[in-house]
């Protein structure tokens, strides 16, 4: 079985896995980073969203063999202590219902705010359209993303 040196959340992990194994299952089963969720397995729901070199990616559609030395960030590594402005805004606005999709939502939003720090409502909705929420928390997600953007503008550390 091939071996990979995976750079996840600032640490290097030696992983043995079949080449076609989606990163999702390496993170979840082998590294026990279960914050990244399995929802559909076909890149439709966004629950498995992570960052690869800062760019949002669907980990269920990313074979481990394609990752190489790229830097992977999961929800567990987004901030050291849950203090990312998005994480705070998600709590302030009580966004989660079941909460299952929310790690993916936050990871999509975090990458989005890097590229567009002052988004309009419409831009937020478009950027988040790849992340399904079965419970229907979209309005609060929009409010929380907007709130986090504002706090980052005012010097809040991403």
Least distance in angstroms from the C-beta of 5 to other proteins: 19
Give me the residues that bind other proteins (CB under 8 A), please: 1, 17-18, 20-22, 25, 28-30, 32-42, 44-45, 47, 74-76, 78-79, 82, 86-88, 90-103, 106, 124-126, 128-129, 131-143
| Distance in angstroms (rounded) separating the CA atoms of residues 155 and 7 | 28
State phi, psi for 8 to the nearest 5 degrees.
Answer: -120, 125
Q: Are residues 148 and 88 in contact, defined by beta-carbon separation less than 8 angstroms? A: yes
Q: Are residues 57 and 125 in contact, defined by beta-carbon separation less than 8 angstroms? A: no
| Distance in angstroms (rounded) separating the CA atoms of residues 37 and 143 | 23
Least distance in angstroms from the C-beta of 130 to other proteins: 8
Nearer to other proteins, 7 or 33 (CB): 33
Nearer to other proteins, 45 or 113 (CB): 45
Stated as kind and residue range, the H or E segment containing 150 is helix 138-153
Nearer to other proteins, 7 or 141 (CB): 141
Least distance in angstroms from the C-beta of 153 to other proteins: 19
């Amino acid at each position: 079985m091939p071996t990979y040196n995976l750079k996840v959340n600032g640490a290097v992990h030696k992983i043995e896995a079949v080449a076609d194994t989606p990163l999702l299952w390496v993170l979840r089963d082998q590294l026990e980073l279960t914050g990244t969720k399995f929802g559909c397995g076909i890149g439709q729901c966004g629950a498995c969203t992570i960052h690869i070199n800062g760019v949002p990616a669907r980990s269920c559609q990313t074979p481990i063999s394609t990752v190489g030395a790229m830097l992977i960030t999961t929800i567990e590594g987004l901030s050291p202590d849950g203090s990312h402005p998005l994480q705070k805004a998600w709590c302030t606005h009580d966004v989660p219902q079941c909460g299952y999709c929310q790690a993916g939502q936050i990871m999509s939003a975090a990458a989005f705010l890097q590229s567009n720090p002052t988004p309009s409502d419409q831009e937020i909705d478009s950027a988040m359209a790849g992340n399904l929420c079965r419970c229907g928390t979209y309005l609060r997600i929009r409010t929380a993303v907007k709130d986090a953007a504002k706090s980052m503008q005012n010097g809040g550390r991403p």
